[in-house]
Structure 1
Amino acid sequence: MLGAAVMCAGAVTFTAGPASAAAGSQTFSFTGAVQGFTVPAGVTSLHIEADGAQGGQNGGLGAHVVSDLAVTPGQELDIYAGGAGGVVSGGFNGGGAGHTDPGLAFHSGGGGGASDVRPAGGSLADRLLVAGAGGGSAGGFGMTGPAGGNAGAPGGEGNGGFPGGAGTAAAGGQGGEGASPINNDGGGGLLGTGGAGGLPSVSPDDGNNAGGGGGAGLYGGGGGGGGGSPVFNAGDGAGGGGGSSLDPDGGAAPAATRAGNGQVTITWDAAAYTFTGFFAPVDNPPVVNEVNAGRTVPVKFSLGGDQGLDILAPGSPSSQQVTCNSSAPVDVVETTTSQSGLAYNPETGQYQYNWKTQKAWSGTCRVFTLTLDDGTVRTLNFQFR
């Protein structure tokens, strides 16, 4: 809830708002489910490092995307950390499936799942950043066959099937052609989803291998074509293609370095406030504000909106006695208050710190110092009657 002043039977009760942000970081590891993140108060930019997941059966590697994302304080985001492709199964968040070999268990790997950031409740079309995943490897005799492609690259070619194509910035990768005459082409990649690997030979007695699933991404990679030669051969299937990435900063294609599951790390700097003020009834330096000692002075200022009430540095505000300057202009503070503490008024968009002075300060001058938790320092001059 945003900080606000609520009038109650002649008294003023102040409600707490969201805390302002110190610098921080949060890492989202693979869980198999969407995870939520709320942008801290005062933060307008997030530094994000996202890694797509690896394809199954020791398949292609996921992309590493580094970008700065413009956000608004309080904005809610959904975080998807992709899962590595398994034996046959595609990884969480869009990995294309591989296939089971019905005879000799030369199963192909599923494509890895992409890692992405999107607005809360957003669809694939709403994603703000995507780290593409690697394609799954084809099945092989006693081991894996041709490898899946790294994120943004086509899969490895088999002796019978052709590799799945890489996803691009505008379209999914083409599915690899299967070995003739069997109709076992790999599936084409789609928005956010890798294509399925091509089927293996229908014969349970030969070594024909299934194609690997395509890796997920902005657009998924195509599935590798399946094998179909009647000859016992470990390389008949082909690897799935890797998925493409979305980097809001643009620039060169990201490197594919991630093995295993994907992850997303979000880092932010301390909130930087836009300070304006001070406002009436006090005057800014060089004017000296004259007030009766012992009264409570309303010190008003703006930070460009509600940044919560946790905005002051430790020990702030403070004051220090100084030598009075007889040549400085003096203005009487006409309005004082009986309240105390810090509040935010949503109607005026201003903060108000009610500063309680002491009667013992009569006949002296002091500098009032307001220090915010982003390092901002502002001062006011006072003279006490």
Structure 2
Amino acid sequence: MLGAAVMCAGAVTFTAGPASAAPGSMTFTVPSDTAQDFTVPAGVTSIHIEADGAQGGQNGGPGAHVTADMNVTPGQQLDIYVGGQGGSPAGGINGGGAGRTGSATSDAGGGGGASDIRPDGGAPADRLLVAAGGGGSAGSTPSRAAGGAAGANGSNGADDQPVTGGQGGRAGTAVSGGAGGAGGTGGPPGAFGTRGALAEGGNGGLLGIGGPSPTNAGGGGGGGLYGGGGGGSGNADQVDGILYVSGGGGGGGGSSLDPDSGTAPAATRTGNGQVTITWNAAYTFSGFFAPVENDSVNKANAGRTIPVKFSLNGDQGDQILAENSPSSTNVACDDEAASSPVEETAASQSGLTYNPETDTYQYNWQTQKAWTGTCRSFTLTLDDGTVHTLNFDFRR
């Protein structure tokens, strides 16, 4: 293999250089409900995004995991919003619906907030990517109905005949918020959850005076491109001195937005959301330098070691070569092409070194005697995906 990075006698040891154009990564977590800034680094034209929405409250539905590749321009500003896990009853940061409208004493779960990426200063309608949050689970009486995972409906509340449970909120879709779940029936009518909206989950249902207690309220809808609907409240009725109580419905999960329409988002995230951006910038390449020539066929003796020199505008470390790079292939000789002899210079064993005094990398390419009488193309592929070639004639 030609691409092994080894140190040659007298070579300068690699150090961690500025690597301004090297691959990088940033992870954003939940500090507040405000935007976090990301500036596209110099030389970067594409970023890879791994975004997770947050889980609904009271062990509610998990948030979505969205992966995408996005074209960008160097210096471009993006706003990153990260979803927070739903509380009890508060909705999570960035769009989670509340577990019960109008009561701070409910133990229903709020919807999980969405994580999204927007242009600098962009509004919810301008979002470029959205990883939806999951719906919050309903109150604990008589048992919690599960909040829906991102993209899924909430579960219905448990019945306690003659009263029925509240219905789960519907999931948000690509074009509208999910409908709120209907309230339980039997006795005074239960309260509907509210419908989700753009970027906002709906709130769980609450019946007024004479209705269910805070412990059978509906769960909040998850935030998303469009939020999930809140779950309907359960119900309560007293018949022949016996109190019957049904459960509330879980909140629906929000919908996601994948800009490159890849694999359907999986709902896997528990806890708070997160956004990770990675990039692989293009190096600033210059070369190749003497003793080889870029614009002509280089004539050399097969079997000698040829120093191939180039610059990447600074020390970018020793992991600059793509897998199996450099390489060479046999090509047809062109007797009409301009040619120049490769000056005989001393070069040690094959390998890659960097000289900070001249800001040049040098790869000592060990050719083979068996190539005598042939022509070959030498290909240097960097880990930024760029390809640089030289042509050689070994017929001298």
TM bracket, shorter-chain basis: 0.5 to 0.7
SS at match of 1:173: coil
What whole-Å deviation, never above 9, does each CA across 1:134-185 have from its counterpart, x for those lacking one? 011111138x620110000010101321110000111110111112443621
Match of 2:172 among 145, 167, 170: 167
In structure 2, give the amino acid aligned to 1:259.
Answer: T
Q: Secondary structure at the match of 1:230?
A: strand
Q: In the alignment, is residue 29 of structure 1 matched against residue 25 of structure 2?
A: no
Distance, in Å, in 1 between the alignment partners of 2:212 and 2:200 is: 33
Partner of 1:286: 296
Describe the superposition over 1:219-273 as per-residue Cα deviations: whole angstroms up to 9, x where unpaired: 1000111122225566421111000111112144211111110000111113256
Task: Classify 1:137/1:77 alpha carbon distance in 2 versus 1 (closer, same or farther; 3 Å).
Answer: same
Counterparts of 1:212-291 in structure 2, within 5 Å, are 212-230=219-237, 232=243, 235-271=246-282, 285-286=295-296
**Residue of structure 1 equivalent to 2:155:** 156
Q: Contact 1:311–1:372 at 8 Å: present in 2 too?
A: no
1:56-75 superposed matches below 5 A: 56-75=57-76
1:106-147 deviation per Cα after TM superposition (whole angstroms, max 9, x unaligned):
5211111000111111111111111010011111138x6201
C-alpha distance in 2 between matches for 1:207 and 1:87: 11
Evaluate the alpha carbon distance shift between residue 84 and residue 313 of structure 1 in structure 2; reply closer, same or farther with a 3 A threshold: closer
Partner of 2:123: 123
Q: Identity of aligned pairs, percent?
A: 60
Could you report, residue by residue, the CA deviation over 1:273-321 in whole angstroms, capped at 9, with x for unpaired residues? 6x7999xxxx963399xxxxxxxxxxxxxxxxxxxx9567579xxxxxx
Q: Which runs of 5+ in 1 are unaligned?
A: 1-17, 289-308, 316-326, 331-352, 356-370, 380-385
Say whether residues 1:98 and 2:108 are aligned partners: no
Change (3 A) 1:118 1:37: same
- Gapped runs of 5+ residues in structure 2? 1-17, 160-164, 299-311, 319-337, 342-357, 361-380, 391-396
Distance 1:243 1:139 in 2: 20
Look up the match of 1:361. none
C-alpha deviation, 1:204, in angstroms: 7.6
Return the TM-score normalized by structure 1.
0.66
The one-letter code sitting in structure 2 at the alignment partner of 1:97 is: A
Root mean square deviation, CA, Å: 3.7
**Counterparts of 1:206 and 1:118 in 2: how far apart (Å)?**
40
Q: 1:208 to 1:269 in 2, by over 3 A?
A: closer
CA distance in structure 2 between the partners assigned to 1:314 and 1:112 by the alignment? 42
Q: How many residues align?
A: 291
- 2-structure distance, mates of 1:209, 1:201: 13
Q: Does 1:46 align with 2:47?
A: yes
Matched, 1:176 2:203: no
Of the structure 1 ranges 249-258 and 218-227, higher mean CA displacement relative to structure 2 is found in 249-258
TM-score (norm 2): 0.64
8 Å contact kept, 1:178–1:227: yes
1:196 is matched with 203
Cα displacement string for residues 180-208 of structure 1 (whole angstroms, at most 9, x for unaligned residues): 44362111011111011111453388576
CA 1:40 to 1:102, structure 2 compared with 1: closer, same or farther past 3 Å?
Answer: closer
Give the match's secondary structure for 2:125. Answer: helix
Post-superposition offset of 1:34? 1.5
Tell me the distance in 1 between the aligned counterparts of 2:340 and 2:213. 98
- Which residue matches 1:55? 56
* Paired amino acid for 2:210: S
223-232 vs 256-265, which deviates more? 223-232
Say if 1:286 and 1:186 are closer, same or farther in 2 by CA, change over 3 A: same
- The alpha-carbon distance between structure 1 residues 96 and 43, as it changes in their structure 2 partners (threshold 3 A), is same
Cα deviation code 1:35-84 (max 9, x no counterpart) = 11111111111111111001111111101111111111111111111000
